[in-house]
């Protein structure tokens, strides 16, 4: 198990961002991270968290297979992918999305069959008209 796994995972629960989801993924139902994720889910009951246990091996790399298994549970268009030994600052998503969004403000994107407008802070707002596509 990753040293400081609890502290690293907890840092994702403490983000200063209005709405986001955390998807934790493991391939083994006996993974030692499961009790830590369960503890975080109890400590942050209002935070949208999912624990996915999926042994399906897609591809040759276990880490990539785990990511492929997890992406189907994602509810949002923007994904931050991290390893279990990463601890992030509470401003991380807001800053990263703001940098990305500056060049796309006012444009529209299509995601999962629906159109969304991109706001100044990187949020996707629905619905956007298809004519707004850049």
What pLDDT, in 10s, does the model give residues 8-45?
999 989 988 878 899 999 999 999 999 999 999 999 99
Q: Is 132 left (phi over 0), alpha (psi -120 to 50) or beta?
A: alpha
Pairing of the two strands 48-53 and 108-111? unpaired
In three-state secondary structure terms, 13 is helix
Structure-model confidence comparison of residues 77 and 126, the more confident one: 77
The answer to whether the predicted template modeling score (pTM) of the entire model surpasses 0.85 is no
What is the C-alpha separation between 93 and 89, in angstroms, rounded? Answer: 9
Look at residues 46, 28, 24, 45 and name the one whose alpha carbon lies nearest to residue 36: 24
CA proximity to 68, closest of 80, 56, 77? 56
Domain ranges for the chain, please list them: 5-90, 103-134
Return all residues near 92 (Cβ < 8 A) that are at least 6 apart. 15, 80
46-86 pLDDT tens trace? 999 999 999 988 878 888 888 888 988 988 877 778 888 88
Confidence of residue 108 (pLDDT cuts 50, 70, 90): low
């Amino acid at each position: 198990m990753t040293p400081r796994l609890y502290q690293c995972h907890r840092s994702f629960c403490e983000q200063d961002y209005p709405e986001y989801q955390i998807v934790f993924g493991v391939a083994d139902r006996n993974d030692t991270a499961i009790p830590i994720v369960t503890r975080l889910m109890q400590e942050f009951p209002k935070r949208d968290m999912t624990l996915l246990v999926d042994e399906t091996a897609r591809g040759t790399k276990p880490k990539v297979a785990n990511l492929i298994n997890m992406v189907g549970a994602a509810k949002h268009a923007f994904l931050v992918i991290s390893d279990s030994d990463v601890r992030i600052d509470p401003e991380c998503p807001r800053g990263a999305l703001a940098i990305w969004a500056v060049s796309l403000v006012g444009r529209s994107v299509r995601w999962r069959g629906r159109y969304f407008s991109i706001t100044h802070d990187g949020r996707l707002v629905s619905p956007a008209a298809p004519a707004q596509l850049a």
